[in-house]
């Protein structure tokens, strides 16, 4: 089953997100930050993992749903 969240481009449109999206996001983040010299920055309202000025993963900020 999927959770529904509003689309950032059109607040009236609903986008389905897999339930395990948060777990996948954390796995990608852990992998990217495990690269030697990797660091996490927070430009554009999300998380960016980079090493030696090369982007490894851009993780979109999660929105809270009421």
The answer to whether residue 23 is domain-embedded is: yes
**Is residue 10 assigned to a domain?**
yes
Residue 11 placed within a domain:
yes
46: CB partners within 8 A, 6+ apart: 58, 59, 60, 61
Counted domains in the chain: 1
Q: Assess if residue 66 is contained within a domain.
A: no
The b-or-e profile of 35-46 (16+ CB within 10 A means b, else e) is: eeebeeeeeeee
* Residue at 16 is within a domain: yes
Provide the whole-model pTM.
Answer: 0.60
Q: Which domain holds residue 54?
A: 2-59
Predicted confidence (pLDDT) per residue in 15-60, tens digit: 677 888 888 888 998 999 999 999 998 887 778 888 988 888 888 7
CA distance 62 to 42: 13
pLDDT confidence bin for 1, thresholds 50/70/90: very low
What is the Cα gyration radius of the chain?
Answer: 14
Instruction: Tell me whether residue 65 is in a domain.
Output: no
């Amino acid at each position: 089953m999927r959770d529904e969240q509003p689309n950032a481009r059109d607040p009236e449109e609903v986008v389905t997100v897999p339930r395990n999206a948060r777990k996948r996001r954390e796995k990608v983040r852990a992998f990217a930050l495990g690269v030697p010299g990797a660091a996490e920055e927070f430009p554009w309202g999300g998380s960016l993992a980079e090493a030696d000025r090369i982007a490894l993963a851009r993780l979109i900020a999660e929105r809270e749903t009421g």
